[in-house]
Amino acid sequence: MYSLALPSKHGYSIQFSPYLPDRIACAGCQNYGILGSANVFIIDIAASNLVINKVFNWNNAIFDICWSECNENLLIGAGGDGSLLVYDVKQNTENPVRVFREHEKEVYSVHWNQTRQHQMILTASWDFSVKMWDVLSSSESSIATFRHSQAVIYDAQWSPFNAQQFLSVTGAGSGFIWDTRSNQAPAVALAKQETEILSCDWCKYDVNVVVTASTDGVIRVWDVRSPNRCTCELVGHEMAIRRVKFSPFSPNKIISASYDFTVKTWNFQQQPSPLETFKHHTEFVYGLTCNLHKPGIVADCSWDRTIKVYQCNSIIQK
C-alpha cells in the first residue's frame, strides 16, 4: 500500500488519469470543506512512494474533480462557490485557466462524457439543477439545464454506452435517468427512497444496470427497465455511503466508500454481504477511484488528510 499525507487539506475527491496509469488527481479542502480554500494535487506513483507533482489553488472548496477524456492534461473541478474550474497541468500557473459561473449554489459533482462521441460535462448542484457544458468551446454559458424537483442534487453520471443519457440522484431520495435531447422531464424515475442518495454509477458491461448509494448505508442495484423497485440491496456499511463505483473489470463487482471509515467490495449477483473490507482510515472516506490500466489498483482519500493506493483483487473478474 502507498500512503500520502495531504498538506493541511481534507480529502474530498480522487481520480486516476484515464491516460497515464501512474497519475492521480486529488481535491482537498480546508476545514472539511465548510470554510476556506482548496487545492487539487497532481500525484505520481513512483517506485516506492507517492510524489506530489503539481498543486492547483482555489479560494473556495472543491468538492469533486474529473479528468478530460480528450486531453491528458486537462482537469475539471466542482467549486463550492458554484464555479466550474478548468485546470491545465502543462500551463505554468497554479490557478484555473478558465472559470465558468452559472450555478447559484455549491457544485457537488462533475463528470466528463465517457463515450468520447462528444466532450460534454455534467455538473450537479445544490441549486437543484444539473447543467451540461462544453468547456472546450468559447462560450461561457452552459448548453442545457435539467431540473425536475426541489431537491439538492448530489451526483450526476454519464452513461458509458449512450452519449445522450445520464443518471442523477438527489437529497430527496430520487434517481432520474435523463435524455439530453429533452430537458423537460426525466425519461425514467427510479423508485423513491426514504433517505438521501449521495452517489450513483453505471455498470460498464450492461446498459440497463445502475447503482445508487444512500445515507442509510445501503447500496441498491437497479435495472432501468424495471425502475419501480431495485433488483437487490447490499447491506454492510454502518454509516452513509459517500461513493459507489462499478468495477471497470467485472460486470458484477462494486466498490464503495463510507463515512464508517471503510471501503468495501461486493458481488451483487452472488451475495448481499461484502467480499472485502479495507479499514485504513480514521475519518470519513470521501473519494474513490479505480485504475483503468492496472486491474485491481484502487485509490481513496479521506477526511483524515491521507490518500491510500492499494491492491484490491476482489473487484477483478474471476
How far is Cα 202 from Cα 242, in angstroms, rounded to an integer? 16
Domain residue spans of the chain: 105-190
Q: Which amino acid is at 99?
A: V
What's the CATH fold of domain 105-190?
Thrombin, subunit H (2.40.10)
- In the sheet with 276-278, reading across from the earlier edge strand, the strands are 241-246, 253-258, 263-267, 276-278
pLDDT reported for residue 191: 98
How far is Cα 152 from Cα 197, in angstroms, rounded to an integer? 10
pLDDT one-digit tens code per residue, 105-157: 999 999 999 998 889 999 999 999 999 999 999 999 999 999 988 999 999 99
Instruction: State mean pLDDT over 69-84.
Output: 98
pLDDT one-digit tens code per residue, 172-204: 999 999 999 987 899 999 999 999 999 999 999
Cβ-proximal residues to 213 (8 Å cutoff; 6+ apart), any chain? 197, 198, 199, 200, 219, 220, 241, 242, 243, 244, 256
pLDDT reported for residue 247: 98
Mean pLDDT, the chain, integer: 97
